[in-house]
Structure 1
């Protein structure tokens, strides 16, 4: 039975009993009079449920089944019949090297008027990971027709090699040069000389050894020391020995800033017969800083130089600023350097030199210039420069008053000039290219001499090359040269005539290994004089074959 129902019935029973008693009392009081009674409630009934019994359960994971199930599949066989039977697979061969095979050796033979033999040959080792070497030989010579004794010959032999290590590269070479000329600048109607009395032969042996490190990153030091020995002599027992040491060092310090330094030691000793030796030494250190940013380049340095014991602090500042990216570049600079006046260097400029008169002062050159350069489109490029140039102790060639067929030097203490240089080039891949350039000097002041002897004021060059069907190669070269002043034995002076000189050449590749070539020089047949009393050859042509293997 519901406890709440029992509770309600008991309450109802007590209440009914009380109510019956009350009615009974009222009836008795009516009969007998009222009696006072008291009801004491001991306690109230509060039913309470018994506490439920709780079960304590502890959960745990089931054990891990480490056994590997064995699964078996059964696929029905599907048999298909094809009309086409595929070829069995085979591994492909490795691709060949993309670099073409080098023709490391060539022989070029020819002959021309003026009894001109021409021999040139080169032999090389080809591509190697650790080394390469080569040998080059060249010989040519001519005998004059119009002017007796207008003969010359030239022999060059050079052997060079390179050895590569993971961190260093070593270079070495040894060469021999033999150049023979004749003093033919005399009056052939009144004078007569024996061949041996007019012959002048220059011999030069050059040995060079160099080293260069191969850094693993752009931020490392790079250095490239080089040592060169030069032995030079002529037919008149004049000898000159030269020792040259260069040590350039370069280091990147920031993303676009580099520091460089180069030490140069150039030591020469000249002897003529039993006369005393003449030493000519130059030592210099070139520290500099290079800043290379997009559209801006600055090279700032100084050249502390010692020339025969005298000290000079020379400027070395060059700047390039892009006004229009790669199309219009403003270039300017203030630089100064030395040109060493050794017997070898002067004889290379004028082979008819009669030795050195005595101790020579080296020429100090100072240039202050500005100009613009850049590109036009994808084919044109140009470069212009306007400069103020000063030469200190400039050697000038003059005919010897006692023997006019030979030259001596005059020292010009200070020679000044304004220079205008311009060049424009056009390149269309490997098919066609052309370039025109000229240099014009306005010699406006000299302190020692009356004129800048044998220095032409204008030199120009127009070069063009064209290739047809990758087999026929054509080229032409047009030179322009202004006249220059020369000194006469009576102390008077005159000026040589200007000249035009056109050279042209062609070569045709018959096959990969054989070809024909021809060169024609001085097509205008002008006998101009670069040096007074020494006219050039007239029209001359040389042709032959080229063999490559």
Structure 2
């Protein structure tokens, strides 16, 4: 480990000498004003054009100038469960909308990425996004398969009409992987551990330029199935009504808003206990707000009318209807851009879906209990600001009372039969959901620093402390998470560098020891649970570089998990070590 750290230190030292020798020769010039609000830096799939200073003047407190600004089209690959963190090497705003990208690396990594769009005579934009990523897994760590691949294919439509903007998009996502995290048994190399999910989403949004009564309408749908015949349908429609500037003076105005949301969720599992659930929620979000310059006071509520039904093979059908209310109040005092004090209380109801939970933990068994999480109240206070358009910051502390907080609990084997001829999920290698009521204390901070026009530094910190009513341990939730990021361009933006570091403290989980009940003549397995297993924390460092040879051709390189540590995301699930990926990008 010391040698790895020394080698990495020399790499950073060499890179820093190149970077900062050029910084000395550059002037501190920022040619565009950045937004005064702190925003998290993240990769975004840019299948939709963004409009700078959108919405138009009727939706802004101050007159503005409208320009359509393209955002770089970059891959939206999420962190693979066995590969560490991918970061995009392209972060500048000078790009061509249509491109194809292809790369290969160790561990059999194959990366494919494309974005194509065109504007029709009717000023309607249509296009498509395609993303693919696969690896062969950890063949030296596991005798059985740990390979995986994921792909997304999407199509979109944008239309800017006389009264508003329309956006429609349809996406298909495929995740093909294995339940490879086996720690308590030793199956053979040909054991079938396959899991696969298919998800199809359709989203639509129509945003009216004017705030006269009808503000915007949004539609969201999701359809998911998996290798074990689970099915889930989810849909939501939201209508935002508003009447702004009811009273307005030189530096004062009053707005009223009402959000109306209808959402439904239906999930059916075909394995084990065959849990089935359905939810219908109607939500009202009234709000009245008062603005004085940059300061404001918002007073509102979140009212939910929830109907739910749950049943399984071992539990009778349980139907329930309830009204859930939570406050929504926020005050911001902004004497100047550098210092903005804010405080408030909010809350609300969140429907936990199988599809969304899989994005956080893809190793769930295909039979889990789903409950909505109700944040009764969340108190918070914070300070944010923008100092000379060079430094943005946002620091806050909060305290919440939450019912049915969701956690991931490890499963043992589902039978005691003494055999390794088992289903993919029956090796003590999957997780289920578990819920508890309690309190959450948190401290959050984010920082962005722009010392130069072509240098962007960022940092984020999240501290979370749970106090639960029934569970003695908080499973699979780290106490501390932090990220560091940097983006730098040189040689007139022909050469771009990126860095992202992810730091996570250790976590507690439950685990199982599986042993024969009789050593001499075993006939069954005996399972012993440990509810205080520690999963170590980790540091994951990633570098990227891209060199633009000409207008239409560039080459790139990615370095992931450069400390080369096979840390675990969940107990048993080690990630791939150091990865180097190289490729080409063609723009047109």
Specify if TM > 0.5.
yes
Q: Does structure 2 retain, via aligned residues, the 8 Å contact 1:302–1:316?
A: yes
Aligned to 2:355: 344
> Is 1:214 aligned with 2:209?
yes
Return the match for 1:540 from 554, 579, 585: 579
Matches within 5 A, 1:87-236: 103-126=96-119, 130-144=123-137, 145-148=139-142, 149-187=145-183, 190-192=186-188, 194=190, 197-215=192-210, 220-236=212-228
Cα separation, 1, equivalents of 2:340 and 2:439 = 27
Aligned to 1:251: 243
Aligned to 1:241: 233
Aligned to 2:37: none
Aligned to 1:299: 298
Aligned to 1:69: none
Q: Does structure 2 retain, via aligned residues, the 8 Å contact 1:430–1:467?
A: no
Shift of 1:501: 0.8
> Is 1:460 aligned with 2:482?
yes
Q: Does structure 2 retain, via aligned residues, the 8 Å contact 1:458–1:481?
A: yes
Aligned to 2:383: 372
Q: Does structure 1 retain, via aligned residues, the 8 Å contact 2:129–2:155?
A: yes
DSSP 3-state at the match of 1:223: strand
Closer, same or farther: CA 298–392 of 1 in aligned 2, 3 Å: same
Shift of 1:168: 3.8
Shift of 1:508: 0.7
Closer, same or farther: CA 539–189 of 1 in aligned 2, 3 Å: farther
DSSP 3-state at the match of 1:515: strand
Return the match for 1:315 from 327, 342, 355: 327
Closer, same or farther: CA 141–269 of 1 in aligned 2, 3 Å: same
Q: Does structure 2 retain, via aligned residues, the 8 Å contact 1:411–1:448?
A: no
Cα separation, 2, equivalents of 1:239 and 1:388 = 36
How many residue pairs get aligned? The number is 446
Which protein is bigger by CA-based radius of gyration? 1
Scaled by the length of structure 1, what TM-score is found? Answer: 0.77
Shift of 1:363: 4.2
Cα separation, 2, equivalents of 1:484 and 1:248 = 40
Cα separation, 1, equivalents of 2:172 and 2:338 = 44
Return the match for 1:448 from 462, 470, 476: 470
Cα separation, 1, equivalents of 2:429 and 2:146 = 12
Structure 1: stretches of 5+ with no match in the other structure? 1-96
Shift of 1:446: 0.8
> Is 1:273 aligned with 2:270?
yes
> Is 1:431 aligned with 2:454?
yes
Closer, same or farther: CA 384–127 of 1 in aligned 2, 3 Å: farther
Cα separation, 2, equivalents of 1:238 and 1:172 = 27
Matches within 5 A, 1:18-33: none
* CA RMSD of superposed structures (Å): 2.3
Aligned to 1:502: 541
Cα separation, 2, equivalents of 1:472 and 1:370 = 41
Structure possessing the higher relative contact order (Cα contacts under 8 Å, 6 or more residues apart): 2
Q: Does structure 2 retain, via aligned residues, the 8 Å contact 1:143–1:152?
A: yes
Aligned to 1:286: 285
Cα separation, 2, equivalents of 1:345 and 1:468 = 39
Closer, same or farther: CA 188–471 of 1 in aligned 2, 3 Å: farther
Return the match for 2:405 from 391, 394, 398: 394
Spell out, residue by residue over 1:299-345, the C-alpha distance to the aligned partner (whole angstroms, 9 max, x if none).
211011123321111111111102x4111111111010222211112
Scaled by the length of structure 2, what TM-score is found? Answer: 0.72
Q: Does structure 2 retain, via aligned residues, the 8 Å contact 1:280–1:342?
A: no
Shift of 1:133: 1.3
Q: Does structure 2 retain, via aligned residues, the 8 Å contact 1:317–1:335?
A: yes
Q: Does structure 2 retain, via aligned residues, the 8 Å contact 1:454–1:484?
A: yes
Cα separation, 1, equivalents of 2:68 and 2:152 = 35
Spell out, residue by residue over 1:97-132, the C-alpha distance to the aligned partner (whole angstroms, 9 max, x if none).
999998331000100111011110010114876311
Shift of 1:173: 1.4
Structure 2: stretches of 5+ with no match in the other structure? 1-66, 71-93, 308-320, 414-426, 513-527
Closer, same or farther: CA 368–114 of 1 in aligned 2, 3 Å: same
DSSP 3-state at the match of 1:510: strand
